[in-house]
Amino acid sequence: MTAKAAGHDDEPGIAAGEAAAGTRPVAGARRAALGDPLVELLFRLGDDRLILGHRLSELTGHGPILEEDIATANMALDLIGQAASMLKLAGELEGKGRDEDALAYFRDAVQFRNCLLVEQPNGDFAQTMARQFLFDAYSVLLLDELSRASHAGIAAVAAKSLKEAKYHLRHSSEWVLRLGDGTDESHARMQRAIGALWRFTGELFVADEVEAAAAAKGAAVDLSGVQARWDTMVDDVLARATLRRPTDTAMQRGGRSGRHTEHLGHLLATMQIVARSHPGATW
């Protein structure tokens, strides 16, 4: 995966990840770049969890209370464990001999398929928990659908992850409640965090050709149904937390096609530095 994007650099409308795969610009390229949709779907699932788990792992030892350090580490462990299973399966289906470590450590940012939400920095504890809550609600609903997929491998990894995701959702929604309905300061911080992250939530529900093709291969997800349930779930928690649902509807997207925010490159630079400094080494 070292093909240079050179020559495509100034083409608008082409994600570098697709360029690296050796395709031509714009809409046609998108379709041509689409390999096995199940692999693509597993990249999305795995990368979401790898990047969010990594973000949480940055906090180990720096939490507001010891009990929360333990809980945060737990969630990081669950998410990275889920990512490892999903990327392993992606690598097997892809058939290019890449295991979960090769996928985690030797892809560039443009080849990552996580949503923009999970790569956002930890910020203060309100931002960390708001990000977690917005993702967990989506994750539970999505995994619930996938746990019933006819593709056995995907159904199994989704079912196992779902149990953990439900626990995470309980934890993060409790913090949204505590902070939203705690003190004036915590309320203001949580409201600000929800507001700052809101623009990254639209992307979660944008169905594209990957969903359609994955459905045909035994991993159907009804993203508009997920969105409707997500809206209800999020509205309920926000209301109980005395928080306003942001009204701005301008949404950012791009993660699913490798166009990330500037944050991801820095995250990967840290995450991949040792592995890439010693190519071929065993750890």
251 C-beta neighbours (distance < 10 Å), count: 15
Among positive and negative, which fits the CA dihedral 104, 105, 106, 107? positive
Q: Which is nearer to other proteins, 27 or 281 (CB)?
A: 281
Binding mask of the shown chain, residues 128 to 167, with x at each position contacting other proteins by CB under 8 A = ----------------------------------------
Cβ 251 vs Cβ 206: under 8 Å: no
The secondary structure of 10-63, three-state, reads CCCCCCHHHHHCCCCCHHHHHHHHCCCHHHHHHHHHHHHHHHHHHHHHCCCCCC
- Decide: is 122 part of the binding site for other proteins (CB under 8 A): no
Smallest distance from other proteins to CB 245, Å: 20
- Decide: is 3 part of the binding site for other proteins (CB under 8 A): no
Q: Which is nearer to other proteins, 34 or 271 (CB)?
A: 271
- Decide: is 266 part of the binding site for other proteins (CB under 8 A): no
Q: Distance (Å, rounded) from C-alpha 195 to C-alpha 219? A: 33
Q: Which is nearer to other proteins, 192 or 259 (CB)?
A: 192
Smallest distance from other proteins to CB 125, Å: 5
Smallest distance from other proteins to CB 7, Å: 33
Q: Distance (Å, rounded) from C-alpha 70 to C-alpha 62? A: 10
- Decide: is 275 part of the binding site for other proteins (CB under 8 A): yes
% helix / strand / coil in the chain, to the nearest 5? 70, 0, 30
Q: Which of residues 56-115 bind other proteins (CB under 8 A)?
A: 57-58, 60-70, 73-74, 76-77, 80-81, 83-84, 100-101, 104-105
Q: Distance (Å, rounded) from C-alpha 158 to C-alpha 41? A: 12
Task: Count the alpha carbons within 13 Å of 18 in the hemisphere toward its beta carbon.
Answer: 25
Smallest distance from other proteins to CB 89, Å: 14
Smallest distance from other proteins to CB 106, Å: 11
- CA dist 256 → 117, 209, 233, 245 (Å): 11, 11, 24, 25
Smallest distance from other proteins to CB 149, Å: 24
- CA dist 74 → 46, 137, 169 (Å): 17, 18, 13
Binding mask of the shown chain, residues 15 to 54, with x at each position contacting other proteins by CB under 8 A = -----------------------------------x---x
- CA dist 218 → 59, 65, 145, 151, 211 (Å): 37, 44, 12, 5, 11
Smallest distance from other proteins to CB 181, Å: 6
- Decide: is 179 part of the binding site for other proteins (CB under 8 A): yes
Q: Which of residues 198-217 bind other proteins (CB under 8 A)?
A: none
- CA dist 275 → 81, 84, 169, 272, 279 (Å): 18, 16, 32, 5, 6
Residues at the site binding other proteins, with contacts judged by CB under 8 A: 50, 54, 57-58, 60-70, 73-74, 76-77, 80-81, 83-84, 100-101, 104-105, 124-125, 177-179, 181-183, 185-186, 189, 270-271, 273-275, 278, 280-283
